Amino acid sequence: MNNNNKQCTRIFALGGLGEVGKNMYVIEHQDEIIIIDAGVMFPSKSLLGIDYVLPDFNYLKENKHKIKGLFITHGHEDHIGAIPFLLKEIDIPGIYANMHAGKLIERKVEDRGLPAPNMVYYDESTVVSFKHFVVTFFAITHSIPDAHGIHIKTPNGTIATTGDYTFDLTPIGPVTNIHKMAKIGEEGLTLLLSDSTNCLRPGFSMSESKVDEALAKVFSECEGRIILATFASNVYRLKHIIETCRNNNRKIAIFGRSMENNINISIETGHIKDDGIFVSPEVAKNMKPKEICLLCTGSQGEPLAALSRIAKGTHKHISLMPSDTVIFSSSPIPGNALSIATTLNLLYLKGVNVYTNSILSNIHTSGHPNEEEAKLTLRIFKPKYFLPVHGEYLMLRAHAALAVECDIPEENTFVMGNGEVLEMCNGVITKGEPIIINDMFVDGNRVGDTHGTVMRDRVIMAADGILVVIANISITETKIIGRINITTRGFILINENIPLLKEIEKVATNVINDSLSKKLSIIDIKNNVIGEVNNFIVKKMDRRPIILPLINEIKEQGF
């Protein structure tokens, strides 16, 4: 921090700006840092071999002595999924979470074999005080229990973040505490951070009670087995499904580990009370179709999730029957539309009845605010400055435009990227010097900023394959020993392309002989092979496989 800005409060994101996922926001004042959320993002199809994308923790590692606590708005993966990885790097003094999120966090950490975190459970009445910060909470309506927004008082002004929320006036769970939000606004709010995910959708989001009515109608009309896929974390939806099954004399079999975990935790925390309705998969197989509902993961078309395996016919417990009804009680997360379409096509091919969310079948509603809810939030809080968060850039930009419509000056709105910094000094906010950050990848057992070259090579191999040139050479005799061997994977079929492989072999032979005559090093020979073979293949086929030369030097044996 510049000497002139030592008294300023800094606000920045390590994830969540320009993307849907890996939410992580940092507020820093002098020798204290508080963190809000630590989520993961699931990789796009271009990130081959990557399991999760994490926020960059390096700034926090460098300033770990300043960290006072990690505050969690709610228990979705894009807000808590990175916590086990964070705890491997940094000893967090306290993780402040509501009861449901806290139980999910404890289980995640336990599954990774890490020591139990220092959990501090909060509710709406909780006040957490540090030297520079005072943190309080307000209840919000979301698709997971105990969700809260967070209000922070700092020496330079006040900050509020909504977390993910809706204004559902007839929810299954608690109603967003508009009165507490309004009080924060009346007292004067310097900066608001608010959810942008659905800001391109007009009007208000549909009430969860309308989804209940639509699902109840589908259940009452089905005579066969029902297979229902929804978000495992949507506990209020799960509660209604349980109630609907009870009303229709159906038992429930659970498929998918995340579904089991969320239901078990919901039973533990008291959000789900009727655990007698659940039966094992083995029992479900012997029940009449109209007596069972199979509740499973896979609403986003995840390849290894239960519904995807059911659709492919590879699930060990479930085989589809023509009388089955499959319900997608969800909407696509950005980037998942193709995977969902693949699963849907497989289901339609099997001839089952399929329900998806549409204007004719309201079997899902979002947990994020639509355009009018975003405007209402801005009017209630009346912030001096506004930072839209949790969304791709078109969502952030649309949200900023809504703020201008709601009388926040355009110069007081900030559409920013991860690592860009706001400095709040005596109630005035300006942009500061950015922090250099990179996405961190979970690649099997490895966590790090997987090098761009590695990711580029994976994309090339996926598209054009790999070609290996194997040659034994004698440096002293400057000649190739035996014949060069050409082999490929994912490039061409060897048996059907013998003439082409002979041409490639000839190119490689010529370049190696030429390099040996010039007495070049092994490294230079390899580089020449890559260059010449690549040029030949590009001209011949307009393809660019990875060229891998394996040049083995055979030395003369002494006697």
Per-residue model confidence (pLDDT) at position 556: 57
Q: Give the three-state DSSP class for 319.
A: coil
pLDDT at residue 559 tops 50: no
pLDDT at residue 198 tops 60: yes
238-271 residue pLDDT tens: 888 899 999 999 999 999 888 998 899 989 888 8
HEC letters along 381-444: HCCCEEEEECECHHHHHHHHHHHHHCCCCHHHECCCCCCCEEEEECCEEEECCCCCCCCEEEEC
Per-residue model confidence (pLDDT) at position 34: 98
Per-residue model confidence (pLDDT) at position 299: 76
- The residue written with tokens 């060069």 in the block is 484
In order of start, what are the domains of the chain with their CATH numbers?
Answer: 9-203+366-435 (3.60.15.10), 208-355 (3.40.50.10710), 452-553 (3.10.20.580)
372-397 residue pLDDT tens: 999 999 999 999 999 999 999 999 99
pLDDT at residue 432 tops 80: yes
Per-residue model confidence (pLDDT) at position 478: 85
**Maximum average pLDDT range among 272-281, 393-402, 439-448:** 393-402
End-to-end CA distance of the chain: 70
Q: Cβ(64)–Cβ(43) under 8 Å?
A: no
Per-residue model confidence (pLDDT) at position 167: 93
Q: How far apart are CA 75 and CA 64, in angstroms?
A: 24
pLDDT at residue 535 tops 70: yes
Q: Taking the CA atoms of the chain, what radius of gyration do you get in angstroms? A: 29
Amino acid at 453: T
pLDDT at residue 451 tops 80: no
Per-residue model confidence (pLDDT) at position 47: 66
Which residue spans within 231-315 are E strands per DSSP?
251-255, 278-279, 292-296
Per-residue model confidence (pLDDT) at position 459: 74
Picking from 158, 330, 122, the residue whose alpha carbon sits closest to that of residue 231 is 330
pLDDT at residue 477 tops 70: yes
121-180 residue pLDDT tens: 999 999 999 999 999 999 999 988 899 999 999 999 999 999 999 998 888 778 999 999
Per-residue model confidence (pLDDT) at position 330: 75
**Maximum average pLDDT range among 47-51, 74-78, 401-405, 549-553:** 401-405
Residue 364: pLDDT band (50, 70, 90) is: low
The whole-number average pLDDT for the span 414-432 is: 97
pLDDT at residue 450 tops 60: no
The answer for residues whose C-beta is within 8 angstroms of residue 304's C-beta and 6 or more apart is none
Residue 273 vs residue 524, higher pLDDT: 524
The whole-number average pLDDT for the span 285-305 is: 85
Q: How far apart are CA 141 and CA 548, in angstroms?
A: 55
Q: Cβ(95)–Cβ(84) under 8 Å?
A: no
pLDDT at residue 303 tops 80: no
> Where is average pLDDT lowest: 332-346, 365-379, 460-474?
332-346
pLDDT at residue 8 tops 50: yes
What is the average pLDDT score of the chain? Answer: 89
Per-residue model confidence (pLDDT) at position 302: 72
pLDDT at residue 444 tops 90: no
pLDDT at residue 226 tops 90: yes
Per-residue model confidence (pLDDT) at position 45: 65
Residue 94 vs residue 230, higher pLDDT: 94
Per-residue model confidence (pLDDT) at position 361: 53
% residues pLDDT > 70 (the chain)? 92
Picking from 111, 160, 117, the residue whose alpha carbon sits closest to that of residue 138 is 160
Q: Give the three-state DSSP class for 78.
A: helix
The answer for residues whose C-beta is within 8 angstroms of residue 471's C-beta and 6 or more apart is 480, 484, 485, 508, 512, 549, 550, 551, 552
pLDDT at residue 11 tops 70: yes
Per-residue model confidence (pLDDT) at position 359: 42
The whole-number average pLDDT for the span 221-232 is: 90
Q: Give the three-state DSSP class for 137.
A: strand
Picking from 533, 437, 461, the residue whose alpha carbon sits closest to that of residue 56 is 437
Per-residue model confidence (pLDDT) at position 90: 95
Amino acid at 356: T
493-508 residue pLDDT tens: 888 888 999 999 999 9
